[in-house]
Chains A and B, each alone.
Chain A
Amino acid sequence: MSNPREYQTEAVIIRKTRLGEADRIITLYSPTLGKIQAVAKAVRKPKSKLSGHLELLTHSEVTLARGRNLDTVIGSQTINTFLPLRKNLEATSAGLYLAELVSLFTAEADRIDNRRLFNLFVSTLEQLSLNTGCELCLRYFEIQLLSHAGYRPQLKVCAGCRKPLQPVTNTFSPGAGGVLCAGCALHQALPYSISVNGLKVMRLFQDCDINTAVRLKMTGELNQELEKLIRSYCQFILEREVRSAAWLDSLRLCP
């Protein structure tokens, strides 16, 4: 049986680029279809009925028509705009960082049902809207995203010799995909030291829900330690930098 000409899916808008006079190419992340690119016609005109429903970081119910090359958005109804998030510079920037991570860690047109990743994305955006600490949300999201995308770091035992890790400062190796004991760490390039508390937080974030994660009290130092090693792990997997990270850094320096 042939595919129906039109289909409907809920999705979050993660990227948009300009196309022609007044159109846009929108990248959507759908729980059932994965990452999709579609053309949104005339959305740059002020009278467009769709534009507000297809803005970045909007959770919408989108109707698409199949096209030869790209599908076309023919309808969109907002489910959640995460309004408080849009009024806060740090939260918006964090949201855009999440969107870039989702875009980079997913392949287009893979049609993979990954509702867990979608739910994680939406619930993290909701948390950011509630104005809870951005940093905790980001670290939780990064660790969970790695698991949902198939790159869950090994934190329980040594990623090299599989022996239980001692409660001392160990080494995190992006290449080995997890934490290494002192003996295995000797031969690794690009090692990052991971403190006992750092490892505890990462283990907790791998298994807890977001409401538990945002209640945690984390020092700035510990956050920096985790941010640095998770970023290097993401960069190792993606083989490129996450561009929005540079903006988050520059925002911290802003008075």
Chain B
Amino acid sequence: MNQSPKTITGSVAQLINELGKLPGIGPKSAQRLAYHLLRASEAEAGQLAEAITRIKTSTSLCRVCFNIADGDKCPVCSSPTRDETLICVVEQPQDILALEHVGVFKGVYHVLHGAISPSEGQGTASLRIQELLERLKPGTVTEVIIATNPTTEGETTAMYLHRVISPMGIRITRLARGLPFGTELEYADDVTLCRALEGRQDF
């Protein structure tokens, strides 16, 4: 980020600088946010500061599924109503939010924290794949749903997971890939159309 002009006092410049480090925030947005906070009440700014401090001090990763948790376990893993024989593997904690919003899935999750991306130097070591295999070892899990993104990296991760899990004899499924709701067929790409045809169902 560009250095803030000399006319800005040190503390404001520091705030602009810090805000500018956030993803998607450019120099101008950082400036606008900083001046908004400057005008906001002390209580409002305090709440923001406290929320930021709290996410670093009171949250950790769930020891079972590696989702973001306030304590030892995340709300999904500590719920007695969830079916622990069904594990849905996702790339990011945000993916759980999307799936939970639908409210159809009653199993539990496993967060990998990324996908295999060879050219970015992201292999399997930095992903929570070993932990997933450990979770599957006791043999209580009956199905693993691979819900990585339908991108080249997500597909690579899915294929790798299939390879390492299949010797365990557990049923492995992949989220269906096809046409999103509300789109038009003529704009669909070949891969999507091909998979939509392959995965067609009786009406």
Residues of A within 8 A of B (CB): 15, 20-21, 46-47, 49, 51-53, 55-58, 78, 81, 83, 86-89, 92-93, 96-97, 99-100, 103, 243-244, 246-248, 250-251, 254-255
Closest to A242 in B: B119
Interface stretch, picked from B40-48, B56-64, B148-156, is: B148-156
Query: A52, B152: Cβ atoms under 8 Å?
Result: no
Q: Can you show 26 pairs from A to B with CB atoms below 8 A apart? A: A21-B24, A46-B180, A49-B183, A52-B189, A52-B190, A52-B191, A52-B192, A53-B189, A55-B189, A56-B153, A78-B190, A83-B191, A83-B194, A86-B152, A86-B155, A89-B159, A92-B156, A96-B156, A97-B118, A244-B119, A246-B121, A247-B123, A248-B118, A251-B160, A254-B160, A255-B164
Q: Which of B151, B163, B167 contacts A89 (CB 8 A)?
A: B163
Interface of B is mostly: helix
Check A103 against B119 for contact (C-beta < 8 Å): yes
* Known interface pairs A47-B180, A83-B190, A89-B159; A56-B152 also in contact (CB < 8 Å): yes
Residues of the B chain whose Cβ atoms lie less than 8 Å from the Cβ of A83 = 190-191, 194
B123 lies within 8 A of A250 (CB): yes
Residue positions of B touching A, CB distance < 8 A: 23-24, 116, 118-121, 123-124, 151-153, 155-156, 159-160, 163-164, 167, 180, 182-184, 187-192, 194
Residues of B within 8 A of A243 (CB): 118-121
Contact A96 B24 (CB under 8 A): no
With known contacts A20-B24, A254-B164, A92–B123 Cβ distance under 8 A: no
- Select B119's contact among A20, A87, A96, beta carbons within 8 Å: A96
Please name all residues of chain B whose beta carbon is closer than 8 Å to the beta carbon of A88 when the two chains form the complex.
Answer: 159
Of A51, A81, A103, A247, which is within 8 A of B118 by CB?
Answer: A247
Find chain B residues with CB under 8 A from A78 CB. 189-190
Interchain CA distance A86-B195 in the complex, whole Å: 12
Residue of B nearest to A22 (CB): B24
A247 with B152: CB separation less than 8 A: no
User: Given A83-B190, A250-B124 in contact, is the A92-B155 Cβ separation under 8 Å?
Assistant: yes
B119 touches A81 (CB 8 A): no
Q: Contacts A55-B151, A255-B167 known; A96 to B118 CB distance under 8 Å?
A: yes
Contact partner of A56 among B151, B188, B194, CB < 8 A? B151
Q: Residue of A at shortest CB range from B149?
A: A44
Which residues of A have CB within 8 Å of B159?
87-89, 92
Q: Smallest CB-CB separation from B160: which chain A residue? A: A89
**What is the bound-complex CA distance between A79 and B192, given in angstroms?**
14
**Known contacts being A52-B189, A255-B167, is A57 close to B152, with CB within 8 Å?**
yes
Q: Which residues of B contact A247 (CB under 8 A)?
A: 116, 118, 123
With a CB–CB cut-off of 8 A, which chain B residues contact A97? 118
Partner among B119, B151, B182, B192 whose Cβ is within 8 Å of the Cβ of A99? B119
**Cβ–Cβ contact B152 & A55, under 8 A:** yes
User: How far is B160's CA from A88's CA once the two chains are assembled, in angstroms?
Assistant: 10
| Sample of 20 further A-B pairs with CB below 8 A, known A243-B120, A244-B119 | A15-B119, A20-B24, A46-B180, A47-B180, A52-B188, A56-B151, A81-B191, A89-B163, A92-B152, A92-B156, A96-B118, A96-B119, A96-B156, A99-B119, A243-B118, A243-B119, A244-B118, A246-B123, A247-B116, A250-B124
Question: Which of A53, A89, A97, A244 counts the most chain B CB atoms within 10 A?
Answer: A89
CB atoms of A254 and B163 under 8 A apart: yes
A20 to B167, alpha carbons, bound, how many Å? 40
Q: Which 3 A-B pairs have the closest CB atoms?
A: A52-B189, A244-B118, A247-B118
Cβ of A228 to closest chain B Cβ, rounded Å? 19
A52 and B182 CA atoms in complex are apart in Å by 16
Q: Chain A residues with Cβ under 8 A from B180's Cβ? A: 46-47
